[in-house]
Amino acid sequence: MHLGSSRETKANREDFFRRFDQVAPAASIPMAPCDVDEASMDTKVRINSIQDKTDRRNVEAQSSLHAAGVWLALWFALNMSVTLMNKRALTLANLPVTLTFIHMICNTIGAALYFRAPWTTVARKSLGRDQSKTMFFFSFVFVSNVVTGNWSLGLVSVSFNQVMRALVPGTTLLLSIFLLKSPWSTPKALALLPIGLGVYLACVGDKSSTFLGLTVTIAAVILAALKAVLSSKFLTGAIKMHPADLILHQAPLSAVWCAVAIFVCGEWDSIFSGTSNENLVHAMSWYFLTGVLSFALNLTSFFANRATSALTLAVCANIKQVVVIALSVYLHGDHMTIQTVFGVFLVTVGGAAYALQR
């Protein structure tokens, strides 16, 4: 029995190990390596997804930057052209309100044709009661800005007008803080100080301006800043209107304001009594030419405003002003003193400092 029992125990032991060897390979295969591989694959997928999103954002940022550059370049060229051509038109016949009225008519027609063009896919937006009230106020600010700007060109030299308009960025900054609740930036505010000092030096050194010319130019500066801020509100706020749609909303209202002002200011009588027929025809041809360009200018101005900001557009205007001042000295013989040149230099430095802060 003892021998049989030993043999039975040995057989049972061999049978046990044989069964263990059969089960052990399957049981000894860990699941962890498979889980690690799946986790690695998930991590790689997430990393690739994040990388794709980052690449898309970089491409979109570059495209947005290029678009902003294109609109700013177009705005720069048109703004400079309209400024110099308006000065020429007002030299032939000093009728700033009539000039603005023609500009508003050209803007209305241009915006209407834009929406009727076969390539236009943008639909116009309807305005609520509060938005319509704001648009009514905006049309008054818009036309007042154009009228005072044109009036200023008829009262002061082009160089004085452009140097004074360098105050628009600082005024825009203040209005953006109070009206749009924009954050305050100390470096940007400090960058605007050389601009203010440069304007002061240039204006004190200019003896061609009068008190009326200075007053009208200051009003034009304030209205230009207010127009930029309100434009930003319509283009980038809750409404997000298309620039051509904004023009078509406000240009007809602005034309009505101008029509009333033509009679109130007495320009209607001046058109037929104070100007010769030959000069009137010549002036009107310039008025309508600048009117067409003003539509292109307003359109690119709104696009550039939407692509950047109201303050950026105002600072870019300083670069344009330096070029216009140089051209006005060459074309119109505007007198420039050393003090005025230094003031223009400070304006340019301030504009560059702001660009670096942005």
Q: Which of 93-97, 109-113, 178-182, 324-328 has the highest mean pLDDT?
A: 109-113
**pLDDT grade, residue 121 (50/70/90)?**
confident
**pLDDT grade, residue 108 (50/70/90)?**
very high
| Lowest mean per-residue pLDDT among 98-112, 212-226, 275-289, 319-333 | 319-333
- The per-residue pLDDT for 275 is 61
- The per-residue pLDDT for 6 is 53
> Is residue 83 scored above 70 in pLDDT?
yes
Question: What mean pLDDT is predicted for residues 165-189?
Answer: 77
- The per-residue pLDDT for 57 is 55
- The per-residue pLDDT for 288 is 94
Cα of 164 vs its chain's centroid, Å: 21
- The per-residue pLDDT for 113 is 92
- The per-residue pLDDT for 43 is 66
- The per-residue pLDDT for 93 is 83
Contact 300, 78 (CB under 8 A): yes
Question: What mean pLDDT is predicted for residues 262-285?
Answer: 78
The tokens 């230009």 sit on which residue?
Answer: 224
- The per-residue pLDDT for 124 is 83
The sign one gets for the Cα dihedral 64, 69, 72, 74 is negative
Contact 151, 216 (CB under 8 A): yes
Question: What mean pLDDT is predicted for residues 145-170?
Answer: 80
Q: Which residue has the higher pLDDT, 141 or 15?
A: 141
Cβ contacts of 98 within 8 Å, gap of 6 or more: 258, 262, 267, 271, 287
> Is residue 25 scored above 60 in pLDDT?
no
- C-alpha–C-alpha distance, residues 107 and 296, integer Å: 8
DSSP, residue by residue, 54-84: HHHHHHHHHHHHHHHHHHHHHHHHHHHHHHH
